[in-house]
Each structure stands twice: as structure tokens, then as C-alpha cells.
Structure 1
């Protein structure tokens, strides 16, 4: 049996830019990368042809968006600008530590997170009240190449915990994405039905029923 947790919006609250395009543009300009006048349009256009469910790393998207306007930006510079634009202020949500502790009493635990920004999951875990050492695996969409609800990200998470996908219980805040665990035979616990502070008791009920 394995348990995975969504990160953003479930265990953690973070301050994200209200206008991501502007935040990225500010960091690009700080690195002497010209920003086109229609950057808002360029940022929202699709520039990378990817399979359904695949994750497109935001630095790749930004580099292609600039290229579409004739701006040749060094990919590392685009990456640094994106990472800086999304540098997080982190708040650990009430009940997060208790939920992780309860899950660990029953089996291996993972973070399974949608995130297109490199380093963001790692930086968040460094600043949270729990860290990388408190879980057995961290699977992010930018790392594995697939976004929830794609079954592949849940299969990667189960494999990282050395359990079968159908043995995975996933805790999250969004049925549209986190509910994808059901496509591999796993079970979802949603915060809209079970508040985070009640997740430990819910996990105990589910896991004891499976023993």
C-alpha cells in the first residue's frame, strides 16, 4: 500500500504570480532579454507540440514564445527567469504534518505534484514545515513528463513507492487532476469531501479496511 499527496493547494499554500506573463517578462528584462510588445499574446499561445497529458516545462515554452517573435534567448537564461518569477513564499497548511505522519505509519509516502517550473517543488519542500526526508519519493510533472490526470504520472508514483498502481491512495484538492488516480485502479481522497485536518482519520479508515 502506498499513499501520495498533491503538494500545491493540498499540503502547501504558495503565493503565485497573479499575472505569470508579466512576472516572467520582468525577470527576462532583468537578464537583458528583450520582451516583445505582444508578450501577453505570445505567452498564452501554444508553441510546443506535445502528446495529450504531457507536461511542457515552462522554460521551454518561454524560449519558444520568444523565438516565435524573433528573439533568440539562451535557454538557461529563460530557465533562470522562470525560476525567479515563481520563487515561492510557502505556508504549510494545517493538518499537513499529521496527514503525512499518519500515512507513513501505514506504508511508503510520495509527493505527486503538477508543476511546470523546474526547481519549484524542491524549493517549496525546503521552505515547508516538512521536507524531502519526510517522504519516500517526489514525483513532479516537470520531472516525469506527464501531468495529472494522465495515468502515467500515477504509474510513476506507484513505481517509485514500489507498489502496484491499484494499491495507491492519492490525496488532493482537485477532482479533475487528482481524480486521475482512479484511471489506474487507485483511490482518491479529495479535500472538498475530507478537509486536510480530517485526512488522518480518513486514511486510517481506508487503510485498516484494506489490511
Structure 2
């Protein structure tokens, strides 16, 4: 058995901007990028069609939104601006460290997270002192923006299983969202939802060997 764990809402709680277009606009302006007068309208509009289940990288969306208003920005600048806009303080949830500690005692551990902002999951783990370089950090980090597919698509769970070197049938995924995290159970893995078991309970079941 190997464990994958959702990040936002499961291991950590993070502050999110109420108006993300404004946060991105401020971050772009700080990098001397001209922000269009109708930026909110440009930001909120879709500028590309994606296959169902595909991740839409936010830095790509921002570049397309700017381009629709005649503003060119480099991929690196867009990526830096988007990351800075969403890189906010986080709170480690009660029981999160206990789950990771118990999971490491049982086998491989991955963080498997939906996130459209490149680098944000890694930055959030570092802020929480839960990065791969720490004793409790995951063996692997699998994000939708990197693998290209969002939970509940099978491919992101398969990516987590592959990263941990186990078949999908031996992957247990813990998360807080029945629609996305619960998808693990619908594609051949095992899903454990926090609606049904607290993090403390998950940690106890890991130690007992009764999680799946």
C-alpha cells in the first residue's frame, strides 16, 4: 500500500484572494506589465478550449487574457506573477503531521493536488514546513498543472501511483472533496474522505494497518 494525500483543505488551509483578478493585476503591475482597463472581464473570460479533465494552467490563461487586449508578456513573467499572487500564508491542519508520520512508517507518500498555479503546491509545502526535504515531507508531489489532468480524472491518480511505484489498486488517497478526491475510488484506487474520518482517525488506521 502507498498513500497519496490532498493538500488544500486536507493537510493545510490557505488564504485565497476574494478577487483573484485583482491579485494577479497587482502582481503583474509590480513587474511593470501594463494591466488593461477591463482586466477583470478579460480574466474571467475563457480564451482556450480544454479537453474535459485537462488542467488549464493559470499562467497560460493570464498570458492569453493579456494577449486578447494586445499586451504581450513572457511565460516566465506570467508564471512569476501568478505564483506571487497566490503565495499566501497557510495553516497546517490538526492531525496533518500525524498522518504523514504514520504514512511514512507504512510506505511511500505523495501529495496529490489539483492546482492550476505552477509551483504553488511546492511553495505551500515549504511554507508549512512539509516539503520533501523535511522528515515528514512527501516522497513525491503530483499536481494537476504538472501532470496535465485534474482530479477526479484517472490519470492524476495513476501518476501518483506511478510516482510511488505501486499499481493503482494499491493506492489509498485521502482528501476532503467527494467529487474530486472521491474519484480515486471510482478508478480502481481507494479513497478516504475526511467527511467519513478525521485526520486523527486516518493516522490511527494507518498505524493499525486498517486503512484499506
- Which TM bucket (shorter chain)? over 0.9
Structure 1 unpaired stretches of 5+:
none
TM-score by length of 1: 0.93
Matched, 1:107 2:110: no
Matched, 1:151 2:154: yes
Tell me how large the CA RMSD over aligned residues is.
1.5
Q: Is the 8 A contact 1:139 1:156 kept in 2?
A: yes
Query: 1:163 corresponds to which residue?
Result: 166
Equivalents in 2 of 1:135, 1:80: separation in Å?
A: 24
Q: Is the 8 A contact 2:205 2:211 kept in 1?
A: no
Equivalents in 1 of 2:73, 2:148: separation in Å?
A: 23
Q: 1:141 aligns with which of 122, 144, 158?
A: 144
3-state secondary structure, aligned to 2:34: coil
Query: 2:25 corresponds to which residue?
Result: 25
Structure 2 unpaired stretches of 5+:
none
Query: 2:68 corresponds to which residue?
Result: 68
Deviations 1:158-200 (A, max 9, x none): 0001111011110001011101112321111111121222221
Equivalents in 2 of 1:194, 1:202: separation in Å?
A: 10
Shift of 1:141: 0.8
Q: Is the 8 A contact 1:2 1:167 kept in 2?
A: yes
Query: 1:124 corresponds to which residue?
Result: 124
TM-score by length of 2: 0.93
